[in-house]
Amino acid sequence: MARGGVKQLTASAPVEEPWALPDGWHWERLGNVAKRIADKHSPDPNSELVFIGMDAIAPHSMKARAGQPFRELRSAASAFQTGDVLYGRLRPYLNKVWYATHAGACSGELIVIRPSSVLDAHYLAFLLHSDAFVEFASHAVSGDRPRIDFGTMGDYPVPVPPINIQRLIVARIEELLVEVDDGEAALARARDDLATWRRALLKAAVTGELTVDWRSSNPPTETGDELLSRVLADRRIRWEAAPKNKGKVYAEPIGPEGENLPDLHPGWAWASLAQIASEQGRSFQSGPFGSALLHSEFQDTGHLVIGIDNVQQGYFSKGADHRISEKKFQELRRFQARPKDVLITVMATIGRTCVVPEDVEDAIVTKHLYRITTEKNVANPTFVSTCLQASPSTVNYLFGNTLGQTRPGLNKSILERTPVPIAPIAEQERALQIVAEQIKGASAILDDLKGCSATLRQSILATAFRGDLV
């Protein structure tokens, strides 16, 4: 059962009229046409009510997800009725507003507002959702976790048309917003289509289809096999010339494995990851890169640890910010990440790949990843990472040789044989340039459309509250 009372603000100061209103409209302060409901629901294991938390209301949406059963809670909660308006008081710039479609219980971070007889509840919800109110509320509070109270909200000037006009306005807003929603749904489908298009674009880049015209104007000066033979010969010469290798026997890197590898364009060749790894990166062949760290060794400060969560498909993410002490970093220095290394996830979520950013801080790579330093002027690391994502033969080989069922993984023997299509370095870089330009252009168009949608939504509300919508 609800308990408590009603807190109401009576604002007596005259309202400064922000703009001229149509005949029959007038200005009122919010506290004079709506009140805050302070009723509470006590904990009740038999309650059938639904609890709405702050997280249930998505920012800028006026929509709420299904809540949880109130009977699961052990503390009291604010009470609301059908037709009340719930407003998120924490960080008002998040614009969390919801017209209650049912009675229930809610978080204390949600202010329950009930309009008077002169104010339609839907009209009030749209008013609180408008940019004008968001700006008012955001400027009224400050701090790291700003919270607004109804006393402050109550001072906001509200344009009040006759109640029948309010309902006409609400109906027109809803009609127009349905069209905006349809546009946003089409935009969401376009984003899905963009992901499909992006995969096709990457495939075209690593199969040579994207650079057909460029290649006709820039024919290769040597075949792909000649290029690969020259690279391997140069590597052997460098290795044998190094004093540290005196008296040792050079081991040729193993070649690519894979059935029915398709023919490539002139100047292209199939190479293994072992063959395109640089001399400095030959540890790739002799054992897994990556340190064995325990979660108990992670701390809030210190040197970065790069693990599975940091490697997203095609990009490096700082989302998982695990760190270790200086002492531990020095112990594991041989596993340090290098700028432009290619990283591949080999445990749990396998096959994701990205390139280590050039501005990476000192960081250690975990045992869940393999790291490859590519041979300079032979294999652009971003091109190699793209091949691991989009070359059909490369992807089929990797996932066709995954080990284990409950904990699938890749080992160094599989990885070093992985076939990768290598083009002349100039063609690799041209393909990557085209990819970057096209993805940037397509993303910019969708971002502009999304911005237009949000602007249109707020423009409808602004027009409504000026009296120009009906």
Does residue 283 have a pLDDT over 50? no
pLDDT at 405: 61
Tokens at 223, concatenated: 């075949």
Instruction: Name the residue with higher pLDDT: 1 or 319.
Output: 319
Does residue 375 have a pLDDT over 90? no
Instruction: Name the residue with higher pLDDT: 293 or 271.
Output: 271
Which residues lie across from 336 on neighbouring strands?
Answer: 364
Identify the band that residue 289 occupies on the pLDDT scale cut at 50, 70 and 90: very low
Span 212-249, pLDDT tens digits: 999 999 998 888 888 889 888 988 898 889 898 888 99
pLDDT at 451: 66
pLDDT at 291: 65
Q: Domain segments of the chain: what residues?
A: 2-161, 221-423
The CA distances from residue 2 to 38, 51, 97, 113, in Å, are 10, 14, 22, 16
Span 248-268, pLDDT tens digits: 998 888 999 877 899 999 899
What average pLDDT score do residues 119-136 get? 95
Q: Show Cβ contacts of residue 414 under 8 Å, excluding neighbours closer than 6 positions.
A: 398, 401, 403
Instruction: Name the residue with higher pLDDT: 185 or 296.
Output: 296
Mean of the per-residue pLDDT values of the chain: 87
| pTM for this predicted structure | 0.62
pLDDT at 8: 41
Superfamily of domain 2-161: DNA methylase specificity domains (3.90.220.20)
Identify the band that residue 12 occupies on the pLDDT scale cut at 50, 70 and 90: low
Identify the band that residue 343 occupies on the pLDDT scale cut at 50, 70 and 90: very high
Q: Which of 35-49, 94-108, 434-448 is predicted with the least confidence, judged by mean pLDDT? A: 434-448
Distance (Å, whole) CA 107 – CA 51: 8
Enter the DSSP assignment of 435: H
pLDDT at 5: 41
First vs last Cα of the chain: how many Å apart?
A: 42
Q: What is the CA radius of gyration of the chain?
A: 31
| The CATH classification of domain 221-423, taken from the options 3.90.220.20, 3.40.50.720, 1.10.357.10, 3.40.190.10 | 3.90.220.20
Which residues lie across from 315 on neighbouring strands?
Answer: 312
Identify the band that residue 455 occupies on the pLDDT scale cut at 50, 70 and 90: confident
Alpha helices in 208-242 (DSSP H): 212-217, 224-241
Tokens at 419, concatenated: 């076939």
Instruction: Name the residue with higher pLDDT: 123 or 242.
Output: 123
> Which regions of 89-233 does DSSP assign to beta strands (E)?
97-99, 104-106, 110-115, 157-160
Does residue 55 have a pLDDT over 60? yes
Enter the DSSP assignment of 91: S
Identify the band that residue 25 occupies on the pLDDT scale cut at 50, 70 and 90: very high
What average pLDDT score do residues 438-463 get? 78
| Residue reference for tokens 């349809």 | 182
pLDDT at 349: 80
Matching CATH topology for 2-161 and 221-423? yes
Tokens at 411, concatenated: 């080992």
pLDDT at 288: 42
